[in-house]
Structure 1
Amino acid sequence: MPHPQDSEESTLPLNLTLTLAALVVIVAGMRAGSSLLVPLLLALFIAVVCTAPVQWLHRLGLSMRLAVWLTLVVIGGFLSLLGLLLVNSFDTFIDALPGIEQKLYQYYLGLLDGLAGLGLAIDTNRLADLLDAEQFGDWIPAVLGEVGNLMMQSIVVALLVMFLLFETLNFRDKISRALVNPAPSLRRFSEFSLTLKRYLAVKTLISMVTGALIWVACKLLGVEFALLWAVMAFALNFIPNIGSAIAAFPPVLLLLVAPDGGLFDATLLAAAYLGVNFVMGNIIEPRVMGRALGLSTFVAFLSLVVWGWIFGAVGMLLSVVLTMTLKIALDSHPETRWIAHLLGPGDESTIEKAHRPISERDEE
């Protein structure tokens, strides 16, 4: 008679194969439906962030429905004003782009001539033809087309956010009526939603502070289009490891070629970017969130690659948010909490601490 343990070991490869096959099907489905899932995910995360002011207004005595409407009006007005300022700054940047291209082209030719003067076998004429200044303008219509597509997607996301916020008003009642024993599920869902809400709110606030500090640094150093670079720093702060470098490259390069700039000012701006991102990302953020809400460096970079491959640029932007959502969901259930611990930084003080929900752990 076979031993029960032998039977469990014989089914382990089959279960692992089925799990991997299901994972492949899910990932392929997400990639195929990315055009539908990306606006939905953006709307879901924005709605989660917006629930914090809704709850705050409700505690002040407003009804939930009125609190939702007031939150939508305030946030919509703020985003509309920011959008108008950003569009105006972007238009000015497009107008100044030919002059910037010409200056970069001249710097590039000077660099090639300098390298050729050192004895390097470089055909300056051939390389210069590859980076002809007239060819730089070819991508402008494509960028403008993407901006138009972004505006349409923004309208869809805004409508989804509005409907999702109103849907949350009676979501717990629906769950209670749908389940026979709703208490355990509601408890896990409450823990998951509170932790996710806290993470998204803190991450968004830190990104806003990062953008504001970058705006101040650009203003102090006389960098043009400071609002544009500040918004870029805010958005790319959600991308781990390389987001801050991508956000710093355009303004530093612009200041390098500016008539009133130069190498010294560009170095100062690069140092400002480095200092802001180091302080906010390595000192403030871990202290505010706690180490339990962190990811290991490898997992953060791997999530950037995987989600970027599935959802494109938006997947890279939301890579850490999506992975943290998955980690919080795994951590809210005792049977999958060990997987969430593997995704974390792994520096918690005791082993028992990893087996408790995030909300019950002490922040470091």
Structure 2
Amino acid sequence: MQSKNTINQVLFYFALFVIVISGLKVASEIVVILLLSIFISSILSAFLNFLRAKNIPNVISYSILLLTFTGSVFLIVYLVNTSLLDFMKSLPVYEEKIKELTLASISLLDQYGIKVNKVEILKLLNFNSLFNFTTELVGNLGAILSKILLITIGVAFILSESKLFHKKIKLIFRNDNQKLVSFNLFSHNLQRYFTVKTFTSFLTGFFIYVALLFFEIKNPILWAFVAFLFNFIPVVGSIVASLPAIVISIVAGNYEATIWLIIIYLIINIAISNVIEPKFMGKELGLSPMVIFFSLIFWGWVLGIVGMFLAVPITMTLKIALEASDHTKHLGMLLSNISNIKSKL
């Protein structure tokens, strides 16, 4: 009987999981706006608390933070959009030069008796899909700005009720101090993760921008923003972010700059991922590499391309939430990396 009840319970939770995920996938556009609003608010609340600690009135602190955030976002959108338009103009030139380099490489391989299907290779080098994607991205600037506006409004409302929300939590757990402590731990760890990750992503983008500017690579703002954004995708993110600048340097015929760029990308990503992030985040926040890989696939499928950027924050949120309670701590351990488990044995 007990075994049957256990099976029924497992089937019930599995069915519940399928229903929730299906709902998230159908409402992905709204869910993405909601999640981004929550995550951004989590980061900005740290700055809001800092301003409050300096005895700056709440209304002034709130106004300064919101105006700074809104201005920064729209400035970034303008700069990235300008760089993207310039990149689109240069795209046909890049395509021709890459084809020339490819044909030269195929001819060199032929001299050594290595046969390569020239037609198939040239088909793969068709940049029409990339051109269509960038054109659509620029063309949908109005839709992008409207979503950014919705996210900004969402962030404004969440921040305005942050103090009230904490009072509500205290009221809910007034008779259970342990749950209140667990929630505060969860909230603190989550805020620390988002703050540190955003800071390290900004550092990555800044150093990449300086390097690209030094080697005179075109559209440094665009590729620095890509580096900032893709830093939120572990393992593959930094590799993908480095490709455009490296390819452009090869096309420009500046092979010395290409070698230096590869070295600089490696140094920046290794230093930030293996030195700075663990120092400020702590090893206890680490996710298992297997969990990271499958979370990228899973959340990318559920929420689209944005889901890949949100995959680690969402999974990290689940892990921190699970570890905050004694009843679910073992599930949080399943998501952890090996160093985290060893430290707790």
Q: What's the TM-score once normalised by structure 2's chain length?
A: 0.91
1:119 is displaced (CA, Å) by 4.1
Equivalent of 2:162 in 140, 147, 168: 168
Moved more, 219-228 or 104-113: 104-113
Answering whether residue 195 of structure 2 is matched by residue 201 of structure 1, we say: yes
**Does the 8 Å CA contact 1:101/1:136 hold for their aligned counterparts?**
no
Q: Work out the CA distance in 2 between the residues paired with 1:143 and 1:79.
A: 17
| Percentage of matched positions with identical amino acids | 31
**Does the 8 Å CA contact 1:64/1:169 hold for their aligned counterparts?**
no
Residue equivalent to 2:138: 144
Give SS of 2:338's match.
coil
**Does the 8 Å CA contact 1:176/1:182 hold for their aligned counterparts?**
no
Answering whether residue 4 of structure 2 is matched by residue 25 of structure 1, we say: no
Q: Work out the CA distance in 2 between the residues paired with 1:327 and 1:67.
A: 32
Moved more, 192-201 or 14-23: 14-23
Answering whether residue 323 of structure 2 is matched by residue 327 of structure 1, we say: no
Residue equivalent to 2:175: 181
Deviations 1:181-215 (A, max 9, x none): 36444333222111111111011111111111111
Answering whether residue 291 of structure 2 is matched by residue 299 of structure 1, we say: yes
Q: Work out the CA distance in 1 between the residues paired with 2:324 and 2:194.
A: 17
1:149 is displaced (CA, Å) by 3.2
Seen in structure 2, the aligned counterparts of structure 1 residues 293 and 140 have a Cα distance that, compared at 3 Å, is closer
Answering whether residue 66 of structure 2 is matched by residue 54 of structure 1, we say: no
Gaps of 5+ in 1: 1-6, 355-364
1:313 is displaced (CA, Å) by 0.9
Give SS of 1:83's match.
helix
Note the 1:100-119 alignment, pairs <5 A.
100-119=94-113
Deviations 1:218-246 (A, max 9, x none): 12222121111111111100001100011
1:160 is displaced (CA, Å) by 0.9
1:140 is displaced (CA, Å) by 4.0
Residue equivalent to 1:79: 73
Give SS of 2:161's match.
helix
1:37 is displaced (CA, Å) by 0.1
Note the 1:274-289 alignment, pairs <5 A.
274-289=266-281
Q: Work out the CA distance in 2 between the residues paired with 1:41 and 1:107.
A: 44
Q: What's the TM-score once normalised by structure 1's chain length?
A: 0.87
Q: CA RMSD in A?
A: 2.4
Q: Work out the CA distance in 2 between the residues paired with 1:136 and 1:189.
A: 45
Seen in structure 2, the aligned counterparts of structure 1 residues 156 and 265 have a Cα distance that, compared at 3 Å, is same
**Does the 8 Å CA contact 2:85/2:138 hold for their aligned counterparts?**
no
Q: Work out the CA distance in 1 between the residues paired with 2:4 and 2:131.
A: 62
Equivalent of 1:341 in 315, 319, 333: 333
Give SS of 2:63's match.
helix
Letter in 2 for 1:71: L
Q: Work out the CA distance in 2 between the residues paired with 1:131 and 1:152.
A: 34
Letter in 2 for 1:189: F
Whose Rg is larger? 1
Gaps of 5+ in 2: none
Note the 1:195-274 alignment, pairs <5 A.
195-259=189-253, 261-262=254-255, 264-274=256-266
Residue equivalent to 2:84: 90
Deviations 1:302-340 (A, max 9, x none): 111111111111110111111100011111111001111
**Does the 8 Å CA contact 1:105/1:133 hold for their aligned counterparts?**
no
Give SS of 1:334's match.
coil
Letter in 2 for 1:288: F
**Does the 8 Å CA contact 1:172/1:186 hold for their aligned counterparts?**
no
Moved more, 129-138 or 224-233: 129-138
Give SS of 1:318's match.
helix
1:138 is displaced (CA, Å) by 4.1
Letter in 2 for 1:206: T
Q: Work out the CA distance in 2 between the residues paired with 1:224 and 1:130.
A: 24
Moved more, 173-182 or 52-61: 173-182
Residue equivalent to 1:41: 35
1:139 is displaced (CA, Å) by 4.1
1:348 is displaced (CA, Å) by 4.1
Residue equivalent to 1:315: 307
Seen in structure 2, the aligned counterparts of structure 1 residues 136 and 278 have a Cα distance that, compared at 3 Å, is closer
Give SS of 2:217's match.
coil
Seen in structure 2, the aligned counterparts of structure 1 residues 32 and 291 have a Cα distance that, compared at 3 Å, is same
